[in-house]
Structure 1
Amino acid sequence: MNIIAKRKIWFTVSIILILAGLLAMPINAMMGNGILNFDVEFAGGTVMEINIGQDFDITNDIKPVVVEITGDENPQISRSGEQGVVIKTKSIDSETRTKLYDALKEKYNLDGMNDLLNVDDVSPTISTEMQLKALQALLIASILMLIYITFRFKDWRFGLAAVLPLIHDVLIVLAVYSIGRVPVNNSFIAAILTIVGYSINDTIVVFDRIRENRKAAKKGDLEGLIDRSISQTIVRSINTSVTTLLTITVLYFLGVQSIKEFALPLIVGIIAGTYSSIFIASPLWYEFQNFHKKPFSKTA
């Protein structure tokens, strides 16, 4: 495989995808939609849970009523159980909540006694704290992995080449969320941290093989060493990712809304992580080796 010889192609593909996502953010902001489609846990808002008591269609039945009464063009509506619905909108006052409930009550002949299960306001102050905690967790995890991998391989370039692709994976997931206007919520945070842990695993496998092959490699044949190591591990990496993707994809299509919200970023992240482990991490290590001007050595 000529992974290293074509490294500029792999880098260019990633840069284009990441830039598309980053550019979509200010464009969304200028259109008045916000840089990302933050769920109420992040942006603040009102959450209503109602027992409809019968079958209903979110897109054709519930959403038009919510949009008309609340004025929120992008409400987040999901099922709760078989006959319940959870409606998340921008903050609305008690009068608007009553109007919304009365409209659904009339539409579905609700009894008005036990159908309104829950009404909550989510403060944006809490959401800011959640965002900071998530960023702190990601930063601390990245630093600890950088230290551990550097210590394990006795080379800071291995550590940096392993951690930078993790940032790549997170940015790719953000690009999908930015362009697709997928709601960003608590599940997104959990999925991002899961992706970081999953992606680093494949990268370590490749780096381990590089370290093993260095002992028998020809001096100066760094490009051949990396290509050979990737070829020896690529089947394992792809097989592992495909089997994981099959399971998560089934969960996405058959699971409830909360499962889907967790599964979607995992699907995107696993694909991005597999790509970065094969086409980004090792080429980055190659670039760091050349940049540092340290002669290629067979010793680990």
Structure 2
Amino acid sequence: MRLLKLVPDDTNIKFLKWRVPFYVVSLILIALSWFFVVNNGLNYGVDFAGGQEVRVTFEGREEAPIPELRQQIGALGYGDPVIQRFGEANQVSIRVRLPAEAEGVPGAATAIGNEVIGAIEGEYDQVRRDGNDTVSGKVASEFREKAGLALLAAMLAIALYIWVRFEWQFGVGALFALFHDVSLTLGLFALLQWEFSLQIIAAILAIIGYSLNDTIVVYDRIRENLKKYRKMPVPELLDLSVNETLARTVMTSLTLLVALIPLLFFGPESLFGLTAAIVLGIFVGTYSSVYMAAPILIWLGVTSDSFVPQETEADLQERKARGEA
């Protein structure tokens, strides 16, 4: 029985033929993404905007009823709460965003925390109060700063690794592809005003890892072919390399999407932003590996003899001594 192949072995798609139009579209999308980020701003969650955190223990239960709590606390009118287990399975941390009118009003944040705890105690027996603390705007600002630095450090470290592993042109190409992926993800969240929290930072880091993995596979094949086909024009060589890795790229992306798309539509609401970011990242990461990372090598001066070892003066003298020059 013949195996089903989504991508035939003799695939010969002329990807580089449309590199200029696709680059123009991508640059426009990057500009629009940052326009939305600057003008609309990101809808920061409690992690990045500050709020009130309460911690309770359900002493009469083995596990905390997190789905019920999320629905119950959400009905209080403070937005979607962030509910996480801490310590034992029956201990939870609940964070809610403070309304604008509560900012700067003494005791307002604590009163909101007490309201949350009171709602829980009214619904469940044997609930122990473990804490009622305010997450200040200063702390939230530090979270935002550190999250941004983490993303920047990840991208620069990846570019440096590829620079050392391949050549500087490949490092620049990978960095631009990652910048493209992160920009479009931030732009989508700014445009639709989906909540931007630490979960989304984790999703963006996952996108960076996925896009990097795909880009390295393409770059490795490009480097091999540069050594193998010395006289082939670079655009044709890049097309060949992308087509040779296309089956792997398509299968990896489809495998991930098969798992993520049901989670996106039927999963819990608390995971929607995380899942949506990763699904978008798979599409833009695959696209950027083909249409961002590969074509930029032409404009950065990669040629068919880029990886041919250059003869030094010592090598020339040695060849002359052997009578070969």
Normalised by the length of structure 1, the TM-score is 0.77
% identical aligned pairs: 30
Q: Tell me, in whole angstroms, the C-alpha distance in 2 between the residues paired with 1:54 and 1:211.
A: 51
Q: Tell me, in whole angstroms, the C-alpha distance in 2 between the residues paired with 1:36 and 1:4.
A: 35
- 2:72 pairs with 1:66: no
Please say which of residues 115-124 and 18-27 is displaced more in the overlay: 115-124
| Matched position secondary structure for 2:16 | coil
Encode CA deviations 1:28-59: one digit per residue, 9 max, x unaligned: 2xxxxxx1101121111224579998997989
Change (3 A) 1:281 1:99: closer
- 2:34 pairs with 1:22: yes
Residue 142 of structure 1 aligns with which residue? 155
Residue 143 of structure 2 aligns with which residue? 130
How many Å apart are 1:282 and its aligned residue?
A: 0.2
Structure 2 letter corresponding to 1:121: T
Encode CA deviations 1:226-274: one digit per residue, 9 max, x unaligned: 0111111122112101111222333444544554443232222122111
Q: Tell me, in whole angstroms, the C-alpha distance in 1 between the residues paired with 2:68 and 2:151.
A: 40
Contact 1:47 1:119 survives alignment (8 Å): yes
How many Å apart are 1:173 and its aligned residue?
A: 0.7
Residue 263 of structure 1 aligns with which residue? 275
Residue 48 of structure 2 aligns with which residue? 42
Change (3 A) 1:202 1:262: same
For residues 1-300 of structure 1, what are the structure 2 equivalents within 5 Å? 1-28=13-40, 35-47=41-53, 65-66=76-77, 75-77=79-81, 88-90=96-98, 92=102, 94=107, 98=111, 110=123, 114=127, 119-153=132-166, 155-217=167-229, 219=231, 221-289=233-301, 295-297=303-305, 299=307
Encode CA deviations 1:82-112: one digit per residue, 9 max, x unaligned: xx99562225364576479769978x96479
Structure 1 letter corresponding to 2:23: F
Over the aligned positions, Cα root-mean-square deviation in angstroms equals 3.6
Please say which of residues 46-55 and 166-175 is displaced more in the overlay: 46-55
Residue 6 of structure 2 aligns with which residue? none
| Matched position secondary structure for 1:281 | coil
| Matched position secondary structure for 1:76 | coil
Please say which of residues 183-192 and 246-255 is displaced more in the overlay: 246-255
Contact 2:53 2:134 survives alignment (8 Å): yes
Structure 2 letter corresponding to 1:131: R
Contact 2:264 2:276 survives alignment (8 Å): yes
Change (3 A) 1:295 1:78: closer
How many Å apart are 1:221 and its aligned residue?
A: 0.5
| Gapped regions of structure 1 (runs ≥ 5) | 29-34, 68-74
Residue 322 of structure 2 aligns with which residue? none
Contact 1:105 1:112 survives alignment (8 Å): no
Structure 2 letter corresponding to 1:43: A
Contact 1:169 1:269 survives alignment (8 Å): yes
How many Å apart are 1:296 and its aligned residue?
A: 2.9
Contact 1:25 1:36 survives alignment (8 Å): yes
Contact 1:191 1:262 survives alignment (8 Å): yes
Normalised by the length of structure 2, the TM-score is 0.71
Question: Which structure has the highest helix share of the two?
Answer: 1
Contact 1:217 1:298 survives alignment (8 Å): no
Change (3 A) 1:221 1:197: same
| Gapped regions of structure 2 (runs ≥ 5) | 1-12, 59-63, 86-91, 309-325
Encode CA deviations 1:53-86: one digit per residue, 9 max, x unaligned: 8997989x8757516xxxxxxx2246779xx995
Change (3 A) 1:102 1:172: closer
| Matched position secondary structure for 1:120 | strand
| Matched position secondary structure for 1:215 | helix
Change (3 A) 1:222 1:105: same
Residue 321 of structure 2 aligns with which residue? none
Number of aligned positions between the proteins: 281
Q: Tell me, in whole angstroms, the C-alpha distance in 2 between the residues paired with 1:185 and 1:55.
A: 19
Contact 1:173 1:269 survives alignment (8 Å): yes
Structure 2 letter corresponding to 1:90: L
